[in-house]
Amino acid sequence: MKTKPAVSVSRASLWHIPLAFLVAMALVPVLFALLYSFKSLQSIYGDAGLFTSGFTLDNYRDIARQLPIVQITLNTLTVAVLVTACKLLTSILAAYAFVFTSFRGKTVLYFLLISTIFIPFTVTMIPNYITVSKLNLFDSVLGIVLPQLADATGIFLLRQTMRSIPKSLIEIAELDGISRMRTLRDIILPICRPSIVATGIIFFINSWNEYVWPTLILRSKENYTLSLAMQLFSSSEAGTEFTTVMAMAVISMLIPVVLYLIFQRYIMSTFASSGIKG
Amino acid sequence: MSDKNTIVFDHVEKTYQKNTVIRDLNLTIPAGQRLILLGPSGCGKSTTLRMIAGLEEITGGELRMGGRRVNEVPSGKRDIAMVFQNYALYPHMTVRENITYALRVHKLDRAELETRLHSVLEILGLEPYVQRKPRELSGGQRQRVALARALVKQSRYLLLDEPLSNLDAQLRVQARKELVKIHDLYQQTFVYVTHDQVEAMTVGQRVALMNQGVLQMVDTPYRVYNRPANIFTAKFIGSPSTNILDADWADGVLHVQGQQIRLPDCWSWLAERSGEHELCLGIRPEHIRLQAGRAENGLTGTLRYVEDYGNKRGIYVDVGGTEVVCMCDRVPCAPGETVSFQLDSDHLHLFSRTTTNSLGYPDEVTESDDTQWDSREELLSYGTSA
């Protein structure tokens, strides 16, 4: 009996070996980018050491000299926050309607909406481009955000979560004369919080890394997002400025990492929790 | 509690597309009464309760609460509190928040809120748990929180949908007593759904038995048990259930499984006045006194099998191919031997085989009830000649 916990502890430790390997796999590119961003272009060829050829901030200075990097970071953040907030809002409202209300053609409408997930971006790109241009929203943050106010994947994910809420929780609120919006705010949203945070993370990261759509819409460097800015260095006429690209990658990672540290508690609970307890 | 809190079902129907789940329901629940809706799974009892709550639309007839038609009144305006089978506690709120949530939303005066909260917490013994979340509570404690949330509203109607079904047997007995005490204290009109007949009998002042969307009988627990209105009621209430034997009434004698029994005069009179020949004889297992061998004017069969319940024995007797269960203190003979029992006039039930309804009971049916007989003289002359 006494040996049993020891066996399970050693088994748990064994699991850490493949897990550590996976963590290392994920960390290597990050460390690689971080390391190379502080090296000169010349030093990376034939020098695999840490900082044997010297530590430099030139790559960051180059970026700051060539681009309004703070403005670009703010643009990216604005787009990502707006897209995430709007998508979450529309997804929550639509998921609520699909789960807790009944109306004619609900199922058909839902499946029509879900089928839009399978329409590739290239199909909607041109119509969206024409719409945005006719609205005179070219080269603006709003032009990037506008076609991304709703997302069928978000509706699908949140609908699945809301379906797991016992109907009696909503009925008891109805019996107590609580309005639908109040029920959504006080009961449904807190219960769905882990899923909302998870969906929000997906929306934020997707928007943060978005490249094709901003390329079509944005023209002036002041309105660029980070992914566009990085592309400037990776496909410059003088060839790829590898170390500058790595510095841009580090800048691109900065805000998501800070946000991760701030929301770490929620993110961990999001992936650790499932279902309705109690 | 005023009579305003009466609930009246007037020819109420509930249909889902072409499927009728409640048929022509006529039921009055007097103010302040504990009415139990009892029946097997899928009989429509929960649908009936949900119609009172306003959670199910009524597709036919009229539902009146406090004298007012409420078919179109939203559930939040019916002054109802409800306890669900799964308790429906908000998992992210503490016990205190769960109990007071609706009151806070409706901006009840803070002092009044605290008074009501502490009153229910004290009655239900929940004071030590106010800061706990539902997942930190046991099943019994959650059930009490759900009840506290319903009571704190001080509504006119309290609906309970199988509130004890998730509790263990011991806790259920305790909770039953608590529910009755709480009702005596608050005197709300109390509608309670269960499929557990013991719960129904112990908690209810009246029991409404339903089957396949049709109300079978509404009466006191005593009468539902002792005076079942039809075969379904007789078989559903009691465990083991009532023995039902096909019987034919002919020439003033009851023919049961090829055996003839002369009924006591009062029962003969009832059978004769019904005009029915194809009957069913009902007798509860605990009302059968078995004896070894044959008995005069009794039913004879073969003892087949004995089950020992500790305090009683369940004895299975084959009477002309029909199995009859008897609950006895002792086994009169060995399996395979002949046993017999006489029909106890006080514990007999006769039903029409065509309508499955009871023919009535001798101490309850009077000549004035009779519509099939032309005159009192004729009736009396039969009574004396039988």
Distance from the Cα of A277 to chain B's closest Cα (Å) equals: 6
| Domain stop point among B196, B227, B258 | B227
> For residue A96, which of A191, A22, A211 has the smallest C-alpha distance?
A191
DSSP E strand stretches across chain B:
7-16, 19-29, 34-38, 60-65, 68-69, 80-83, 157-161, 189-194, 206-211, 214-219, 243-250, 253-256, 259-261, 278-283, 291-292, 298-308, 313-319, 322-328, 338-342, 349-352
pLDDT averaged over every residue in chain B: 89
Summarised one tens digit per residue, pLDDT across range B69-109 is 999 999 999 999 999 999 999 999 999 999 999 999 999 99
Summarised one tens digit per residue, pLDDT across range B171-210 is 888 888 988 998 998 889 999 999 999 999 999 999 999 9
We report the CATH number of the domain holding residue B337 as 2.40.50.140
pLDDT averaged over every residue in chain A: 87
Best mean pLDDT range from B70-79, B267-276, B328-337: B70-79
Contact B101 A171 (CB under 8 A): no
Contact B88 A276 (CB under 8 A): no
pLDDT classification of B379: cutoffs 50, 70, 90: very low
Instruction: Examine the pLDDT at A28 and tell me if it is beyond 60.
Output: yes
Chain B, residues 137-196, CB within 8 A of chain A, namely 137, 142, 149, 153
For position B180, what pLDDT does the model report?
92
Same domain for B10 and B29? yes
**Phi, psi of A130, rounded to the nearest 5 degrees:** -65, -45
Q: Which of B319-328, B339-348, B364-373 has the lowest mean pLDDT?
A: B364-373
Model pTM score = 0.82
Instruction: Produce one character per residue of B300-330: b if its CB has 16 or more CB atoms within 10 Å, e if not.
Output: bbebeeeeeeeeebebbbebeeeebbbbbee
Contact B76 A182 (CB under 8 A): no
Q: For residue B133, what is the nearest residue in chain A, using CA coordinates? A: A278
Q: Is A165 on the interface with B (CB under 8 A)?
A: no
Contact B136 A182 (CB under 8 A): no
Range of the domain at B267: 233-385
For residue B93 the two structure tokens come to 């709120």
A278: nearest CB among B84, B105, B134: B134
For position A236, what pLDDT does the model report?
64
Beta carbons of B259 and B299 less than 8 angstroms apart: yes
Beta carbons of B64 and B235 less than 8 angstroms apart: no
Q: Is B82 on the interface with A (CB under 8 A)?
A: yes
Q: For residue A189, what is the nearest residue in chain B, using CA coordinates? A: B92
Sequence-ordered list of residues with C-beta below 8 angstroms from that of B205, at least 6 positions apart, any chain = B33, B34, B35, B220
For position A211, what pLDDT does the model report?
92
For position B376, what pLDDT does the model report?
38
Chain A, residues 105-124, CB within 8 A of chain B, namely none
Q: For residue A188, what is the nearest residue in chain B, using CA coordinates? A: B90
> For residue B281, which of B292, B291, B267, B295 has the smallest C-alpha distance?
B267
Contacts with A182 from chain B: Cβ below 8 Å: 105
Q: Which of A31-45, A48-62, A109-123, B189-203 has the lowest mean pLDDT?
A: A48-62
B53: nearest CB among A175, A177, A187: A175
**Domains present along chain A, CATH in parentheses:** 66-272 (1.10.3720.10)
Contact A177 B106 (CB under 8 A): yes
Same domain for B113 and B253? no
Residue B79 DSSP label: -
For position A157, what pLDDT does the model report?
92
| Domain stop point among B179, B209, B227 | B227
> For residue A157, which of A208, A207, A100, A200 has the smallest C-alpha distance?
A200
Summarised one tens digit per residue, pLDDT across range A130-143 is 999 999 999 998 99
Q: Dihedral (C-alpha) B307, B309, B310, B313: value to the nearest 10 degrees?
A: -50
Instruction: Examine the pLDDT at A4 and tell me if it is beyond 60.
Output: no
Count CA atoms within 13 Å of residue B190 on its CB side: 29
Best mean pLDDT range from A6-10, A228-232, B382-386: A228-232
Contact B135 A168 (CB under 8 A): no
Same domain for B219 and B242? no
Best mean pLDDT range from A38-42, B12-16, B338-342, B371-375: B12-16
Same domain for B165 and B287? no
Q: Could you write out the DSSP letters of every residue in chain A?
A: --HHHHHHHHHHHHHHHHHHHHHHHHHHHHHHHHHHHTS-TTTTSS--SSSTT----HHHHHHHHHS-HHHHHHHHHHHHHHHHHHHHHHHHHHHHHHHH---TTHHHHHHHHHHGGGS-HHHHHHHHHHHHHHTT-TTSHHHHHGGGS--HHHHHHHHHHHHTS-HHHHHHHHHTT--HHHHIIIIIHHHHHHHHHHHHHHHHHHHHT--HHHHHH--SGGG--HHHHHHHHHT-TT---HHHHHHHHHHHHHHHHHHHHHHHHHHHHHHH--S---
Same domain for B216 and B275? no
**Percent of chain A at pLDDT exceeding 90:** 61
For position B4, what pLDDT does the model report?
78
| Domain stop point among B186, B203, B227 | B227
Same domain for B276 and B372? yes
Q: Is B104 on the interface with A (CB under 8 A)?
A: no
Q: Is A187 on the interface with B (CB under 8 A)?
A: yes
Contact B84 A177 (CB under 8 A): no
Largest CA distance in chain A: 75
For position B3, what pLDDT does the model report?
61
- Residue B120's SS3 state is helix
Q: Is B108 on the interface with A (CB under 8 A)?
A: no
Same domain for B25 and B119? yes
For position A269, what pLDDT does the model report?
67
Higher pLDDT, B233 or A278: B233
Same domain for B103 and B54? yes
First to last CA, chain B: 52
Q: What is the average pLDDT across B203-229?
A: 95
Same domain for B188 and B69? yes
Q: What is the average pLDDT across B338-343?
A: 88
Contact A175 B92 (CB under 8 A): no
For position B330, what pLDDT does the model report?
87
Q: What is the average pLDDT across B14-19?
A: 91
Mutate to test the interface with B, among A102, A176, A181 (most CBs of B within 10 A): A176
Contact B153 A176 (CB under 8 A): yes
Same domain for B246 and B163? no
Same domain for B258 and B122? no
Q: What is the average pLDDT across B279-300?
A: 90
- Number of domains forming the structure of chain B: 2
The C-alpha atoms of residue B76 and residue B53 are separated, in whole angstroms, by 9
**Sole residue written with tokens 């499955």:** B356
Instruction: Examine the pLDDT at B142 and tell me if it is beyond 50.
Output: yes
We report the CATH number of the domain holding residue B101 as 3.40.50.300
For position A51, what pLDDT does the model report?
60
For position B298, what pLDDT does the model report?
86
Contacts with B105 from chain A: Cβ below 8 Å: 176, 178, 182, 186
Chain A, residues 188-217, CB within 8 A of chain B, namely 190-191
Q: What is the average pLDDT across B231-247?
A: 94
Same domain for B273 and B203? no
Q: Is B89 on the interface with A (CB under 8 A)?
A: yes
Handedness of CA A220, A222, A227, A230 (dihedral sign): positive
pLDDT classification of B367: cutoffs 50, 70, 90: low
Sequence-ordered list of residues with C-beta below 8 angstroms from that of A64, at least 6 positions apart, any chain = none
